[in-house]
Structure 1
Amino acid sequence: MSLNWKFNLRLKMFATKATTAAMATLLLASQTPGFAGSASAAQAEQLTAATTGENEQLDATSNDVPEGAKISSRQASENILKLFPLLKKATISSARFDSPNSYPPPDYKAWEIGFQITQGNHTSGFSGTVHAGTGEVLSVHLPSDILDKHVSESDVKLTKAQAEEKAVTLLYQAIPGLKDNEYAPLGDLYSSIEQESLFGRTEYRYGYQLKHDGLLSDAETVYINVDESGLVTGYSRGTIEAKYPSSKPAASEEKARQQFEEQFDVELAYIAKDRLSSKQGQQYYLAYTPKNISIIPIEANTLERINTLTGKAVDEDSLQQDTKLKGDVTPFVPANGTRLNVQQAANRVATNFDIPKGYKLEHNQLGKGYYSSPNNQVWSLSWSDRSANMSYM
């Protein structure tokens, strides 16, 4: 066999492999949501073949910086590996540039870097996200494949306080330029919780709220998980791209305090000791509690009560509790102790609510109550109009 014939054969084999890889990539792009579309849609880094002798390796990242980003997918993956060096044992399998998968969609773009770990015949996949504008790591959670092996090789048993030192260290590493006075623990809102897995691995969770221009921001939060061996197992960072309003209020603190004091009101109420359950034997205590209007925040420039969901001024009259009903309203009369059948339950609904015209009762199910009433039996009913353009239940 001549040398030229061998060279031509190897050249044809390589061309066939390259063509097959290109066709597979094209097929994947045409069948996977988010991998194809217009220039404004999600952009995915194409796997490129790098020939190294007889072995061919795939690199899912590149130095390309797409429109709308300030860092490349390779820089994003490097930022993740700096915080979580254990992931160097994993294979980077994909890189996707788009808005993070959350609702409502955030006002920034991010890199989603996919990882794979193969042990024997088992392969598991997971991903981490990086802000495409700032380069900050937004979320990473180590898979059990890595954690179980790492914990089994460690004899370290940290206390909750010692584990938090690891969390704070990572906090400074993840957010460049963070100063001591620019964050605060969430405390009782998200206290460090001890969680033991089925096989005894203890994990602690910590939450922190960051400051902007010296003020705490609900949008800037960080949650960090640390296990008893001192390994940071999870990190998630909430942030926004939108500009903050000025931190200098038009109204003074004294005027805001005066308005709170003038409008503050309380009322007596029975409060359950366990508010997430209505179990039998639930204990209640009598307490004074603020009325709704007393705990609604005041806009710092206008001193108006604001709806934190809409940002608009609140109609205070609509918030008053125990308002006397107008008109002839029949008071509620509970059943006599026997369980309602499905028709009786449906009649209860129809008596108190207007069933839309054309809607028929189509589904019913009797089951246990949800977390708020686990000891009760509850009818779940649904009505729908199948003649409508879109059946709405």
Structure 2
Amino acid sequence: MIKKILAVTLISVLFAQSPMASFAEPVFSRSQEEWAKLRDNRLEYGEIEGLLEEYNGTILQNKIDYRSFQKEYGKTNEEVVKTYRDMAKEIEKNLQEPDPQDANYVSAAVALASAKAQISSLNKSADNALEDAEIKWITLESAKKTLVQVAQNDMISYYTNLLVVEDANLTKQQAQNALHLAGIKLRAGTGVKSSILSAQEDLLKAEQSITKATDDANNVKKKLMVMCGWSYNGNPEIGSLPDVEFSKIEKMNPANDQGLAFQNNYTLRINLKKLANASEDSQKESLQTAIKTNKQNISTALVVDYQNVLAARDAYHYAKANVDVQNGLLSQMQTKLRLGVASAYEMSAQEISKKQADVALAQAKISLFSAMENYQWDVNGLAKAE
């Protein structure tokens, strides 16, 4: 598979750069069973993070960049500052004033001015440097988790689009039935041609919806599988979404979860580390203000996304109740049909309504799952803090 080739190529680079680096090499970090699941041709929701860690080009490149940063700048802020100073000194050591009589004086003077500007820039970077290897690591970890969230959302979108296709097919069936009935009425002299035209328009719209939703599902599937290491022409089996665990909702509490959300939030962690590295009062003041804003925004995100979970849960229960109603109406319609007091058209219409209710329930379930995942990501470090 293409994803295996990509991983082997980049992992070999990682080994070459730093065999003793802090990243656990994939060949040692997973069991044979875990590797077998990642290497098969099935994409499971619970495997997305592992697939991205091992096969996503951006994440693998970030690992290389992190090791390069450590090698070039060091681990601590003091080492980073010293590196900037040393680079400036190295350039300054080799500076030479050009001879005005030299034929290349103009180009040499330009080069000298450029070198002096570079020295100034490096010294300024040293004066203002707040980064260190830990901040670099947190930044790259945040980028990885964000990609995981994006991939998970893509898988959710894939199944949402499949339900849109299913619903559009039911709408198409409704339009076909309406068109058939309108034709019968027109031929019997009890209908009008406008009913035929209206049904034809509804049928066309339904077919367009089917095409669009199918294309959307295929496009998001390709995006998802490429992110997870498959080639663009690959065709992995997409596993089902996890079931909703309603007990988790009862345990959600923005006030109680706030502390863990602060502890995990990547933006807040970076600013706290920068504050620890800061030496200038102006830097400290600016970072303290940023940290205060971060905490306020994290708290707000928790409350908003918790409310979204509750709203999605209510919508799910409403959809579930509607399924029960439609099942009851279908049972009644079946009885009426047997007694000869309902038409085949009415029976078909009720069957479609029941199926639409089933689709709406599935959509509500996915929406609830998505809302719960968003809240959990807030707790796990990705709440919008800025």
TM-score category (smaller protein): under 0.3
By percentage of residues, which structure has more strand?
A: 1
Higher share in helix? 2
TM-score (norm 2): 0.21
TM-score w.r.t. structure 1 length?
A: 0.21
Query: For the pair shown, which has the larger CA radius of gyration, 1 or 2?
Result: 2
